[in-house]
Amino acid sequence: MQLVLWRKQKLSSIFIVCVVLVVVFVCLRLSYWQIQRAEAKALQLAHIESVQDQGVMQWSQVQALPVTWDKTGIKVTFRGQVEGQYYWLLDNQIYQGQVGYDVLTLFTPTGSKIPIVANLGWVKAPLTRQQLPTINLPKQPIEMTVQLKQGQLSGFTLENSDTAQSDGWPKRIQNIDLEAFSKQTGTLMADYIGYRQGAGDDLGIPHYQAVVMSPQKHYGYAVQWLLIGLACIGVAVFASKKKDLK
């Protein structure tokens, strides 16, 4: 009988040790991941700061940049034509606690044959999902300042980003996918997007932030996960000593 109890206690102890090791490993892995995220954000901020030190560029200056140069963070002012027949509504965008859409459209700068996708800003969602907001895009040329973003444009989504969520135009989308946009419009477009800057108007309310979470917050989360792992070890050690005293 005592042998059976001893074996059960032994198996229980081994199980607890395994659980503690798994939890500690996960916490350490998450802490390391947050450190990596912090370092990546710091590099991103440094790059954006370096390009913005050059001030607001003109479109001709952007076109003169090397193709391989990362254009993320560049602010450019240009004049051009909005392609009114095409626009996308990026779903599940929150602005000041309200749910809405970001309005994305093709914008062809004057003197360029290749349009870029421009995010005009946020608009409030109608009361029902069956209804989409109506956007009156300008038919005449307009001037605007945008901040460019290149590289990873799509964020986290539970939906399949390969297809738009509506037929015809406008299209409700869950992710920014320039390749899909090009196929839908039959148009070759630049491999970056421009987020409109400035005050809001009938086209939308610009609200783009290049970096939402600062490196300091990521470091804070890294410390938090590390402390959780250490606390788990402390609790396990305390519980085992208490059990031995009994």
Helix (H, G, I), strand (E, B) or coil at 170: coil
- In order of 85, 110, 170, the CA distances from 114 in angstroms are 16, 10, 21
Query: Under 8 Å CB-to-CB from 166, ≥6 apart: which residues?
Result: 132, 172
Q: Are residues 165 and 184 in the same domain?
A: yes
Q: Are residues 24 and 139 in the same domain?
A: no
Q: How many CB atoms lie within 10 A of CB 75?
A: 19
Number of domain units in the chain = 2
Query: Under 8 Å CB-to-CB from 51, ≥6 apart: which residues?
Result: 71, 72, 73, 74
Q: Are residues 95 and 150 in the same domain?
A: yes
Report the pLDDT value the prediction gives residue 236, as an integer from 0 to 100: 76
Report the pLDDT value the prediction gives residue 217, as an integer from 0 to 100: 83
Tens of each residue's pLDDT in the chain, 246 residues:
555 454 556 556 677 778 888 888 989 899 988 888 888 777 767 766 776 767 788 888 888 878 888 888 889 998 999 988 889 999 999 999 999 999 999 999 998 888 999 999 999 999 888 889 888 898 899 999 999 998 777 654 445 544 455 568 899 999 999 999 999 999 999 999 999 998 878 889 999 887 667 778 888 889 899 888 888 888 777 776 665 555
Report the pLDDT value the prediction gives residue 44, as an integer from 0 to 100: 65
**Residue 208 included in any domain:** no
Alpha helix ranges (H) inside the chain: 2-52, 59-63, 178-185, 215-245
Q: Are residues 41 and 139 in the same domain?
A: no
**Residue 209 included in any domain:** no
Q: Are residues 36 and 112 in the same domain?
A: no
Q: Are residues 63 and 137 in the same domain?
A: yes
**Residue 205 included in any domain:** no
Q: Are residues 80 and 103 in the same domain?
A: yes
Report the pLDDT value the prediction gives residue 244, as an integer from 0 to 100: 56
Q: Are residues 190 and 110 in the same domain?
A: yes
Report the pLDDT value the prediction gives residue 146, as an integer from 0 to 100: 93
Q: Are residues 71 and 186 in the same domain?
A: yes
Q: 0.85 exceeded by the pTM?
A: no
**Residue 229 included in any domain:** yes
Domain housing 35: 2-47+216-245
Report the pLDDT value the prediction gives residue 82, as an integer from 0 to 100: 92
**Residue 43 included in any domain:** yes
Cα 41 from Cα 172, distance rounded (Å): 30
Q: Are residues 158 and 192 in the same domain?
A: yes
Q: Are residues 68 and 190 in the same domain?
A: yes
Torsion sign across C-alpha atoms 94, 100, 101, 103: negative
**Residue 175 included in any domain:** yes
Query: Under 8 Å CB-to-CB from 71, ≥6 apart: which residues?
Result: 51, 62, 65, 148, 150, 192
**Residue 206 included in any domain:** no
Max Cα–Cα distance, the chain, nearest Å:
91
Q: Are residues 134 and 158 in the same domain?
A: yes
Cα 42 from Cα 19, distance rounded (Å): 35
Query: Under 8 Å CB-to-CB from 39, ≥6 apart: which residues?
Result: 215
**Residue 103 included in any domain:** yes
Cα 172 from Cα 110, distance rounded (Å): 28
Per 3-state DSSP, the chain is made up of helix, strand and coil in percentages (nearest 5) of 40, 25, 35
Q: How many CB atoms lie within 10 A of CB 178?
A: 16
Report the pLDDT value the prediction gives residue 156, as an integer from 0 to 100: 45
